[in-house]
């Protein structure tokens, strides 16, 4: 068994109604809070009023920051400048991955006070982060990114010179992750599809990553099982929706743990240029590309490295999805790709051409795809193979 290491994780409170525990947890860290939310989703939810009242009953006061869309370095720097001298004792992020990433970065820089551009990977001077971070409590209201369990905050700048890069450090990890499936109840179908396929992609890519280890393997398989049982049921609604939400809350949490410890792969390598050069939500990129990327990886491994352990792992996931542990390897591999294609169609994820990507854009996308995620892909893909993944989803 190869040596491995695990980074720190947040304290996790999981289960329906767990949001009610947060005010008492917050009071242990201090009374003055910065609360980062999305535009409307949590503040207009039925849980918001009682929760704010309970926070006030604990003697807490707060200021607010709103995140609309994917967070930019400018949003983070602006919040840090506005609130650095306000005696903030902790940051609470309540929202989707974008909200949690913004809150995480703000918490990391409230005390040091410098620009997040100093630390973004692949942009600027890449100075080491010295800390200290302000205590951060994370509450996801979507099931997709797993940001509540990661040490990186993904920030974006859109346009021809755009980027999607991470501010990453162990000290950015949340003190607590409060995962309450009840908070997912208001998610519309398109958000369920995009975020759910993001979580599924993160689990699959972490499972076959070159940095995977026995602990992440066990968590990834459990997460993939939960996604198989929960995603389509939640998307379809009806009597099974509540159970589907709970399963996907778990799948998303486990996907964050796995990506933080094992890294990702080619889908997330391509998500960086696609998300920065085009206004495409991250989860949509993942859901649109995961079948084509998985097929490309399997074909490359069969051709160039048939002893690669990722091949057996892909087959294991195929058997899990089929509910047939005796399925032959070739059949399991084919079923895995077919299942991913079926889910992409069933949840109406758009093609890249429908999202504004053209054939002429492919070389530029490929040229910007070899970031940290691509480095943990189970096999090194050629430029032509990466281009083939993109072109497969143009039609």
> Can you tell me the distance from the alpha carbon of 132 to that of 108, in angstroms, rounded to the nearest whole number?
7
Percentage of residues in the chain with pLDDT exceeding 90? 87
Which of 3-7, 64-68, 309-313 holds the top average pLDDT? 309-313
Q: What is the CATH number of the domain that holds 33?
A: 3.40.50.1970
Chain-wide mean pLDDT for the chain?
95
Checking if the pLDDT of 29 tops 90, the result is: yes
For residues 368 and 242, membership in a common domain is answered with: yes
C-alpha distances in Å from residue 178, one per residue of 10, 158, 341: 9, 31, 33
User: What pLDDT shows up at residue 346?
Assistant: 97
Tokens found for residue 123: 């942009």
Average pLDDT over residues 142-170: 90
User: What pLDDT shows up at residue 161?
Assistant: 77
> Which pTM was predicted?
0.95
**Residue 6: inside a domain:** no
For residues 145 and 218, membership in a common domain is answered with: no
For residues 165 and 55, membership in a common domain is answered with: yes
Cβ atoms of residues 183 and 19 within 8 Å? yes
For residues 286 and 244, membership in a common domain is answered with: yes
- Among residues 58, 48, 63, which one has the least CA distance to residue 28? 58
pLDDT digits (tens, 9 = 90+) for 210-254: 999 999 999 999 999 999 999 999 999 999 999 999 999 999 999
pLDDT digits (tens, 9 = 90+) for 292-335: 999 999 999 999 999 999 999 999 999 999 999 999 999 999 99
CB atoms within 10 A of CB 58: 14
Checking if the pLDDT of 45 tops 90, the result is: no
User: What pLDDT shows up at residue 279?
Assistant: 86
Read off the pLDDT band of 133 (50, 70, 90).
very high
Which residues are CB-contacts of 342 (< 8 A; sequence separation ≥ 6)?
none
> Can you tell me the distance from the alpha carbon of 331 to that of 309, in angstroms, rounded to the nearest whole number?
17
For residues 158 and 219, membership in a common domain is answered with: no
For residues 157 and 60, membership in a common domain is answered with: yes
For residues 149 and 296, membership in a common domain is answered with: no
Q: What is the CATH number of the domain that holds 285?
A: 1.20.1090.10
**Residue 86: inside a domain:** yes
Which residues are CB-contacts of 79 (< 8 A; sequence separation ≥ 6)?
34, 36, 65, 102, 106
Q: Is the dihedral of CA 384, 385, 389, 391 positive or negative?
A: positive
For residues 113 and 153, membership in a common domain is answered with: yes
Average pLDDT over residues 198-217: 97
Instruction: Count how many domains the chain has.
Output: 2
For residues 174 and 212, membership in a common domain is answered with: no
**Residue 365: inside a domain:** yes
For residues 328 and 360, membership in a common domain is answered with: yes
Checking if the pLDDT of 156 tops 80, the result is: yes
pLDDT digits (tens, 9 = 90+) for 85-118: 999 999 999 999 999 999 999 999 999 999 999 9
pLDDT digits (tens, 9 = 90+) for 257-266: 999 999 999 9
Full domain range(s) for residue 101:
11-184
Tokens found for residue 363: 């070389």
* Domain end residue (candidates: 133, 155, 184): 184
> Can you tell me the distance from the alpha carbon of 92 to that of 55, in angstroms, rounded to the nearest whole number?
11
Average pLDDT over residues 8-34: 97
Read off the pLDDT band of 135 (50, 70, 90).
very high
User: What pLDDT shows up at residue 159?
Assistant: 75
User: What pLDDT shows up at residue 123?
Assistant: 87
Checking if the pLDDT of 167 tops 80, the result is: yes
Q: In terms of DSSP H, where are the helices of 58-211?
A: 73-83, 97-109, 189-208
For residues 208 and 138, membership in a common domain is answered with: no
Tokens found for residue 38: 């999305």
CA 69 distance to own-chain centroid: 15
> Can you tell me the distance from the alpha carbon of 260 to that of 263, in angstroms, rounded to the nearest whole number?
6
For residues 369 and 240, membership in a common domain is answered with: yes
Mutual angle of helices 189-208 and 241-262, in 10-degree steps: 40
């Amino acid at each position: 068994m190869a040596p491995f290491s695990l980074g720190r994780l947040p304290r996790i409170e999981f289960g329906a109604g767990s949001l009610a525990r947060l005010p008492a947890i917050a009071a242990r860290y201090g009374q003055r809070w910065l609360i980062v939310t999305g535009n409307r989703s949590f503040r207009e939810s039925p849980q918001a009023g009682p929760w704010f009242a309970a926070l006030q009953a604990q003697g807490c006061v707060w200021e607010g920051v709103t995140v609309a869309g994917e967070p930019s370095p400018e949003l983070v720097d602006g919040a840090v400048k506005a609130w650095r001298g306000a005696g903030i004792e902790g940051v609470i992020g309540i929202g989707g991955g974008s909200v949690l990433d913004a809150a995480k970065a703000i918490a990391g820089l409230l005390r040091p006070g410098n620009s997040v551009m100093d630390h973004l990977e692949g942009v600027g001077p890449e100075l080491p982060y010295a800390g200290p971070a302000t205590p951060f409590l994370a509450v996801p209201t979507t099931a997709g990114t797993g940001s509540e369990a990661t040490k990186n905050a993904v920030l974006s700048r859109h346009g021809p010179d755009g980027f999607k890069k991470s501010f990453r450090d162990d000290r950015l990890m949340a003190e607590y992750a409060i995962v309450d499936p009840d908070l997912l109840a208001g998610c519309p179908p398109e958000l369920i599809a995009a975020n759910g396929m993001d979580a599924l992609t993160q689990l699959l890519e972490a499972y076959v990553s070159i940095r995977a280890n026995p602990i992440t393997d066990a968590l990834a398989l459990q997460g993939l099982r939960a996604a198989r049982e929960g995603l389509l049921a939640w998307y379809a609604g009806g009597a099974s929706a509540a159970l589907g939400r709970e399963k996907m809350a778990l799948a998303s949490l486990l996907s964050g743990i796995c990506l933080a410890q094992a890294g990702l792969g080619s889908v997330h390598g391509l998500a960086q240029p696609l998300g920065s050069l085009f206004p495409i939500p991250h989860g949509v990129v993942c859901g649109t590309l995961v079948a084509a990327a998985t097929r490309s990886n399997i074909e490359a491994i069969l051709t160039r490295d048939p002893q690669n352990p990722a091949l057996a792992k892909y087959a294991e996931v195929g058997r899990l999805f089929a509910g047939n542990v005796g399925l032959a390897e070739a059949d399991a591999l084919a079923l895995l790709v077919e299942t991913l294609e079926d889910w992409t169609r069933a949840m109406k994820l758009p093609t890249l051409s429908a999202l504004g990507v053209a054939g002429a854009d492919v070389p530029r996308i490929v040229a910007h795809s070899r970031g940290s995620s691509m480095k943990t892909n189970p096999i090194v893909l050629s430029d032509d193979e990466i281009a083939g993944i993109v072109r497969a989803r143009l039609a």
